[in-house]
Amino acid sequence: MSNRPRLILAAAAALAIVMASEPVLARGGAANLMNSPGYQRRLQESRQQLAAPPPAPFVAEPRGDHRPKAKRHRHHHAR
């Protein structure tokens, strides 16, 4: 086999390896991490939180009668 076909074969093999590993890299981790029990448990918890309805906003009860403060008069003193 001459150099040229061997080079093309090596390039094709390298390209195939890169293309096959791309989905693993896109998911953000190795396969053993994705299948770990801790990861799967946390994934299930987060999915349950997303499925639950959001909590209702807090509404404060109105207070009884609210009277404004009496305004104090400013006294101007003559010099």
Mean pLDDT of 16-38: 69
Three-state DSSP class for 1?
coil
39-71 per-position pLDDT tens digit: 889 999 999 888 877 778 888 777 766 677 777
Contacts (Cβ under 8 Å, ≥6 apart) of 33: 39
Q: What is the pLDDT of residue 17?
A: 83
Q: What is the pTM of this model?
A: 0.30
CA-wise closest residue to 29 among 17, 19, 20, 39: 39
Dihedral of CA 42/46/52/53: which sign? positive
The more confident residue out of 39 and 73 is 39
Q: Are 39 and 46 in contact (CB under 8 A)?
A: no
